[in-house]
Amino acid sequence: MTSHAKLSPSSAHRWMQCAGSMILEKDFPDSSSEHADEGTAAHFLASECLEQNKDATDFLNQEIAVLPQGAAWARDVWKITNPTKFTVDLEMSEYIQIYLDAVRSQATGNELLVEQRVDFSSFIGAENAFGTSDVIILTDDEIQVHDLKYGRGVKVNAEDNEQLNLYALGALNNFEAFGDFKQVRQVIHQPRLNHYSEAVCSVEELSVFASHVRASANAIASIQEYEAKDVNVYLNPGEKQCQWCKAKATCPALAKHVVETVIGDFEDLDNVDLNAQIDVATGEVTSLENNRLGKLFAAVPLIENWIKALSGAVHNKLHAGESVQGFKIVQGKQGNRAWSNDDEAEALFKSMRLKTEEMYNLKVISPTTAEKLKKENVIGPRQWSKVESLITRADGKPTVVPESDKRPALNLNPQNDFENLDA
Ligand code: SF4
């Protein structure tokens, strides 16, 4: 058995593609954010509802405290000073209820297990490899792994999802003695994005996946064993793995990959005149053949991501008082003009006898604001149907997306229409 690394399911999409990330990321602290804390609170509400067999509105206006070790009802953590708190409001309760209804519809007549720790160490040959699955449902011949994602970020698909595959392996490990399970159904719930995705994996497919994870775990263990003498060999840049990597601003492999994509091969980044080379590459863009254009365009998200990380790292270092060659911090442009005191400005204009329409920017509320008023029952259901009939939406503008996008391609080439007529 190999040891050392904590192979977290949530970052498996990274360490499975780029074993070296386990070394490069280890000196960066775990960062928390309000979004992550809100997600922790929402998960806590969902698990309390499932365990107590209640609906989310049963907890309306109650406060959830988010602590480093997880979440709890704020009333139970009164000894802790200033925990981050979230109130169960109508919005949170509505979104969590969507998730609860979907889980309960699958759980009826089956065994429902909430917040289960699943251990997949034995499948991948690494010690202490486990995760916590939000919900596991055991049917006669199927294990279901449900994952709630409360963010408003990107839609995540269950198909080929490394995190869910690891939970699935762990669930098989924990529960195989309880039934004759032939497959694992993996489900992602993203109620705030109106997104639900599920995929089914046979036990055989999971064992193929386990062999890939085992190879990654072995690579990670061997880099750690030899104290990362040549970690660069194990770095493998790519959009999926680099997107949330903490090391992306300083990763030499990503920097090399991005610069090579733009200007072509080079020996030593320190000896390249980047500005001149980028000027040449920019001048050549319009004459590139279409296949090359497509390849370069596919790399844009990764390049943009790297630029953002680089810019953030330079800002952070300069703000921390460190020097970065060629850059400094200066006072930025002044902000927009504003009244130092709104009430005084209002009183002054009144004293000048300005008319209402001269003094105020009056504008009718937007459909989004009207919808909020509907949720607050300021606008009733019958009134809402009249409001709704006035809402209109412009067609979306033609947008370039990857070939894998589910929407059908627009036919913008009129020549194709003539070809069809001839046929
Ligand atoms: S930035 Fe990309 S290549 Fe570099 S360590 Fe992270 S995942 Fe690996």
Task: Check which CATH number belongs to the domain holding 66 and give it.
Answer: 3.90.320
Q: Whose CA is nearest to atom 3 of ligand 1?
A: 237
Of 16, 241, 244, 250, the one to substitute when testing ligand 1's pocket (max ligand atoms within 8 A of C-beta) is 241
Same domain for 380 and 264: no
Distance 26 CA to ligand 1 centre (A): 12
* Separation between Cα atoms, residue 387 and residue 95, nearest integer Å: 24
* Separation between Cα atoms, residue 35 and residue 155, nearest integer Å: 16
The answer to the question of residue 229 being in a domain is no
Same domain for 271 and 135: no
Of 24, 216, 223, 304, the one to substitute when testing ligand 1's pocket (max ligand atoms within 8 A of C-beta) is 24
Same domain for 200 and 69: yes
Distance 343 CA to ligand 1 centre (A): 53
The gap between the terminal CA atoms of the chain, to the nearest Å, is 65
Sign of the torsion formed by the C-alpha atoms of 260, 264, 268 and 272 = negative
* Cβ 118 vs Cβ 69: under 8 Å: no
Tell which atom from ligand 1 comes closest to the C-alpha of 251.
4
Tell which atom from ligand 1 comes closest to the C-alpha of 248.
1
The answer to the question of residue 32 being in a domain is yes
Where a domain ends, among 164, 195, 214? 214
Picking from 133, 230, 229, the residue whose alpha carbon sits closest to that of residue 187 is: 133
Same domain for 195 and 69: yes
For residue 69, the model assigns a pLDDT of: 81
**Local confidence pLDDT in tens for the 423 residues of the chain:** 444 457 889 999 999 999 999 889 988 877 778 889 999 999 999 999 999 999 999 999 999 999 888 899 988 887 777 778 999 999 999 999 999 999 999 999 999 999 999 999 988 888 888 999 999 999 999 999 999 999 988 899 999 999 999 999 999 999 988 888 999 999 999 999 999 999 999 999 999 999 999 999 888 888 876 665 678 888 999 999 999 999 999 999 999 999 888 888 777 777 778 888 888 888 888 899 999 999 999 999 999 999 999 999 999 999 999 999 999 999 999 999 999 999 999 999 999 999 998 999 989 999 999 999 998 899 999 999 999 999 999 998 889 888 888 889 998 876 666 555 554
The CB density around residue 222, as the number of other CB atoms within 10 Å, is 13
The answer to the question of residue 281 being in a domain is yes
The answer to the question of residue 414 being in a domain is no
* Separation between Cα atoms, residue 39 and residue 75, nearest integer Å: 19
The answer to the question of residue 353 being in a domain is yes
200's enclosing H/E stretch is strand 195-202
Where a domain ends, among 266, 286, 319? 319
Same domain for 252 and 207: no
Number of folded domains in the chain? 3
* Separation between Cα atoms, residue 34 and residue 49, nearest integer Å: 23
Same domain for 111 and 65: yes
Which segments of 266-331 does DSSP mark as H helices, in order?
274-284, 290-298, 300-319
Distance 310 CA to ligand 1 centre (A): 13
Same domain for 99 and 53: yes
* Separation between Cα atoms, residue 141 and residue 110, nearest integer Å: 11
The answer to the question of residue 258 being in a domain is yes
Tell which atom from ligand 1 comes closest to the C-alpha of 236.
3
* Separation between Cα atoms, residue 66 and residue 37, nearest integer Å: 6
Helices and strands (H and E) in the chain: how many? 17, 8
**Distance from chain centroid for Cα 136:** 22
Same domain for 77 and 180: yes
Tell me which amino acid residue 91 is: E
The answer to the question of residue 280 being in a domain is yes
For residue 2, the model assigns a pLDDT of: 41
Residues with CB under 6 A from ligand 1: 14, 18, 20-21, 24, 235-237, 241-242, 245, 247-248, 251, 253-254
Distance 229 CA to ligand 1 centre (A): 17
Same domain for 257 and 128: no
Of 220, 244, 254, 260, the one to substitute when testing ligand 1's pocket (max ligand atoms within 8 A of C-beta) is 254
Tell which atom from ligand 1 comes closest to the C-alpha of 257.
3
Picking from 193, 227, 170, the residue whose alpha carbon sits closest to that of residue 95 is: 193
Quote the domain boundaries for residue 271.
248-319
Distance 19 CA to ligand 1 centre (A): 9
Same domain for 184 and 84: yes
106, two tokens: 């699958």
The answer to the question of residue 139 being in a domain is yes
Where a domain ends, among 195, 214, 233? 214
Tell me which amino acid residue 103 is: V
Q: Whose CA is nearest to atom 2 of ligand 1?
A: 242
Strands 183-190 and 142-148: parallel
Same domain for 257 and 195: no
Same domain for 263 and 133: no
